[in-house]
Structure 1
Amino acid sequence: MYGALDGDSLTNIKYVATTTIQSRITEYHFSLEFCVTGHFLYQPDSEIDISSWNLPTNTPLADERFHESRLIDLLLGAEKLWELEAIAVLPESLHPHHQICEALYTKTTVQDSHGRIIVNLPFKDDSSRLGNSAEVARRRFYDSYLRVYIRITKSDSHGRIIVNHPFKDDSSRLGNSAEVARRRFYGMESRMLKFPELRSEYVSFMQEYQALGHMSLVTNPALHESRYYIPHHCVLKPSSTSTKLRVVFDASCTTTTQLSLNDLLLVGSTVQTDLYLHLLKFRLFQYTMTANVTKMYRQVLVDPSFRKYQYIFWRNSPDAELQTFQLNTVTYGTVSSSAQFTLLD
């Protein structure tokens, strides 16, 4: 009796068979031991429209009917997948552009006095024609943001990165934000009193925030200067193994001028690739690793002169005085936070 684990379910296997599989194109073959089951939990139920696909005519396919909806005959394990991936590399004779690419590389590549490779961009036409493309427009926006970011970034004596808020508009356009932030705090606090355990976790989260130096008490708030109070609330994620409660800061809350902090900040370009491309990368290696950086955004400091745009109201108990605190690090909830962190390298 064998047990086959499929996701969170367990399937009992009574029979095992050994068979030989051979390529229909080459002489390559191999033998594997298979578990025999009556069904798979997943079966393809729709066909893929490949009428617009430009498939190479000189490349033989392992399955010419791959786009059709058919029942699954067998599943191969990962231990054999990587061997098949390795032998599936096409020979140079099947690549129609191989010689062209080789000649182009030779033409556009030189070495400097230190032996380093220098590559020119191999334009097939006048490069000035790229001026109208969306990609160049996006790149120019990214470069512009990068120049702003470099100008507003520095480090302290310990090498800790310090950033400013990249305002795209005059910060004086921010109106009064204290009243709405105060009302939202009182509303949140009133709801928390009905759930003592949830309130305890909220208080613990904020106490840790302060103990780590990520927020600090403001004894003299900049009442006569441009400033911004960020409302906050909590979100619950019971499935999380690290932090089930997180405090979320709402920098999109509008002030009396109908503008929020996020309205005046540069967003920057998208810093991560498409999810689809991330998933494809997992097919390139036999082993992959994922990791989580604890309090990632909060490892980057905000310049003290810009922390007045990260005021919050807080108190540990309804019996205590409501006080103003400032967030000292990059705050998740501001539209510039992702680019501020990712562009550090």
Structure 2
Amino acid sequence: MPVSGIGQAVVKVRYSVSVQLSSRFGSLEHSLDCLVLPNLTVNLPTRTADISAWNVPKHLPLADPQFNVCNGIDIIVGAELFSMILLEYIIAGKVPTSSPTSVTCLVSTVESLDAQVKKFWEVENFDQGKVYTALEQQCETHFARTHSRNAKGRYVVRLPVRQEMFPLIGETWSTAARRLYAVEKRFRADDSLRSSYVQFMEEYQQLNHMEEVQTRVALPQFFLPHHAISRPDSSTIKTRVVFDGSH
């Protein structure tokens, strides 16, 4: 359950507990359902106050005899109980300080389950009234025109291509070739790396992620450099093939 407070800060609460409160001096008892948090707030008061000069009647039994000592807070009660537990004498007010270091506020609201479910469905629903930009509309049209489902029920869609970007890519063969020659040079010094690299590429072919091309295709054409990252200490994949899409 989310609990929100000052500045709309939200804390997720997982547990609740039933508590029976009773007065130290009277017959007042009250049951509360409380949320469990690792920390309620900072220590209060934030510093220990000197009350030697305060005119607190000695005969009054205080619920917290050490109310002036900086200490942790065990429970925070709501307004529905606050007015019931007050007697006609209460010690309250501001303690003078020359250098205030922090401000502490205790406010919280518990979001109802109905509101959470409503928000969930609002997030999950498609926005039927969305106005697309020209580029977004191109992507939407491309998806509607090219998507399908294969025999295994998986969706298949062609990659969107922006034809106007082709001239910006430039010549890619030379860089891809240099990368390949560098990888092959490493193969000559590391037969294990070569074996795992070839195995990876063969698996890519078997999965139809790529296919061997015997001749140059018609323009435009782009070449994707790739290289190996070797991690001998890895418990799973020792060699990983990285395709340099940013090239």
Query: TM-score normalised by the shorter chain: which range applies?
Result: 0.3 to 0.5
Give TM-score scaled by structure 2 length. Answer: 0.44
Give TM-score scaled by structure 1 length. Answer: 0.33
